Amino acid sequence: MQRRKFLKAGVAGAAAATLATPAIAQDKREWKMVTAWPKNLPGPGVAAQLLADRITTLSGGRIEVKLFAAGEIVPGRGVFDAVSEGTAELYHAVPAYWGSKSKGILLFGSQPFGLRADEQFGWMQHGGGQALYDEMYGRFGIKPFLCGNSGPQWAGWFRTEINSVEDLKGLKFRTTGLASEMATKMGMAAEAMGGPPMFQALQTGALDAGEFIGPWTDSALGFYQVAKNYYWPGVGEPSSAEECGVNAAAFAELPEDLQQVVTLACESLYNPVWTEYTTKHAQALKTLVSEHGVMVRKLPDDVITAMGAAGAEVIDELRQNDDELVKRITESFIAYRDLVGGYMTYADNGQMNARAAIMGY
């Protein structure tokens, strides 16, 4: 897919968009979904449309969800406020974008050296995470749900090679969420921006490097055209959860069966979205290397060690946050990470290491 097919966000129609009170006639509702993505952007843009369609279908048309891409009603980074204020009924984005609202929100999306995609959902469902998620977003009049995950993200696209920690000092680097705080502690100049602006900034030299998601989405955005060094592992975001935020008043107004429809539509997409990313990332990586000359490189061990120290500082600062809820979220995350991480040493980690040793038989 060529990047120009979806970079033309429908901004031309933004001024003409007229918002109205949702129609509720014969038990039917028309809901607006605003997203942080260009329409049908491989990965999150596709997942957003899947969610809109699934809610509409599972509700038997009683909730008709119409998707508006970034820029059609509000900018991508404006979707949280749009749903909080009732301009739209729901949004599709990632928690990593809302750190200005509360640092505690960032833990629900991704964490440096944190949870894998399955562990993130496990924390929500079985480790007390959803109750804390509800409490935090309730402050803003939003009912939140996780509805997908990109899986392990990459360390990023670099215009030049990285051979030591010193090479990162002063580097202008696009990232987001808690990963940006880790990068800052490493001496990097962290920049927050969307995928299309990141391409332009790399092209002009306004950025030296940046990470967005992974091979599938990144190749569609064309980053390989302006930076050939693709580094792993993405320890800043071992996974990145996608979320649906629903206006709390609109959700409360729904009858119980439709509340279940929205809930199950979100939860049922988590695994299909995650596994699609995994499959298409793998396919895209092969193409990036074989057809576009991308150089896949591992971060030096001393860089990973330094990132681990910086990431630990980030989490420690959250533990000392002035907001009591942020502290509770952080302690819950740490407890679940350590519990499941200890088990994974014997389970998934052991299996993956054993499999890697015999690959190609």
Strands 172-174, 209-210: pairing kind:
parallel
Q: Which residues lie closer than 8 Å to 161 by C-beta, 6 or more apart?
A: 167, 229, 297
CA dist., res. 106 & res. 216, Å (int)? 24
Q: Is 174 a known ligand-binding residue?
A: yes
Q: Which residues lie closer than 8 Å to 56 by C-beta, 6 or more apart?
A: 63, 64, 65
Q: Is 211 a known ligand-binding residue?
A: yes
Q: Is 29 a known ligand-binding residue?
A: no
Q: Is 158 a known ligand-binding residue?
A: no
CA dist., res. 15 & res. 67, Å (int)? 16
CA 210, 214, 220, 225 torsion-angle sign: positive
Q: Is 80 a known ligand-binding residue?
A: no
Q: Which long-range contacts (CB under 8 A, 24 or more apart) does 196-204 make?
A: 196/3, 196/7, 196/38, 196/221, 198/174, 198/223, 199/3, 199/223, 199/225, 199/226, 201/174, 202/157, 202/159, 202/226, 202/227
Q: Which residues are annotated as a binding site for substrate?
A: 153, 174, 211, 237
Q: Which residues are annotated as a binding site?
A: 153, 174, 211-212, 237
Q: Which residues are annotated as a binding site for Na(+)?
A: 212
